[in-house]
Amino acid sequence: MGNQEGRIGVVTGLVRAAFLVNAVYTESAREYGITSQQGQLLCVLMAQPYGMGELSAVLGLAKSSLTGLVDRTERNGLVRRESDQADTRAVRVLLTARGSELAAEFYAETCRRVDKLAVGLTAADRAILGDLLGRIVLDNNVPTVFLDSSYPEPI
């Protein structure tokens, strides 16, 4: 391998990074007593309430799967449904007070854990990685399933 030792390609790096982040996300969700899908739902709803059709598109779930997810999360008292003022046939999903509190805690802890994954990078490397990943996300029109972290970069 010569001077390429320890280097991996883009595909391998992205796939392994996705598994790594997903494992952190799943572990964090489990500690908060929710599934990782419920965690995703809560994080999406932190930004604003969504209609069921919008949620289906953002989360990449079939409507039947989304209905089950919202039902379970609603039974846990974390979200509620309300009629859409603009379209009385439509329903919007929003966080309850308890859901908002849990979402904020889960989000902050998950950000902290994901941030630790890059602890070995310099500030300059972190900025480059953020720029490159941001371009990939934007080029692929990835929905906002996780808000931009307000965590300061480590010095």
Residue in 94, 73, 99 with CA at minimum distance from that of residue 83: 94
How far apart are the C-alpha atoms of 39 and 29, rounded to whole Å? Answer: 6
- pTM beyond 0.95: the answer is no
pLDDT tier at 155 (50, 70, 90 boundaries)? Answer: very low
**Residue 91: strand, helix, or coil:** strand
pLDDT tens digits for range 97-126: 999 999 999 999 999 999 999 999 999 999
For 10-139, CATH number out of 1.10.1740.10, 3.10.28.10, 3.40.190.170, 1.10.10.10 equals 1.10.10.10
Per cent of the chain over pLDDT 70 is: 89
pLDDT in the model for residue 145: 64
Q: How far is CA 106 from CA 32, 77, 133, 143, in A?
A: 7, 16, 23, 20
pLDDT in the model for residue 1: 40
The pLDDT of residue 154 is above 50: no
Q: Give the start-to-end residue ranges of the domains of the chain.
A: 10-139
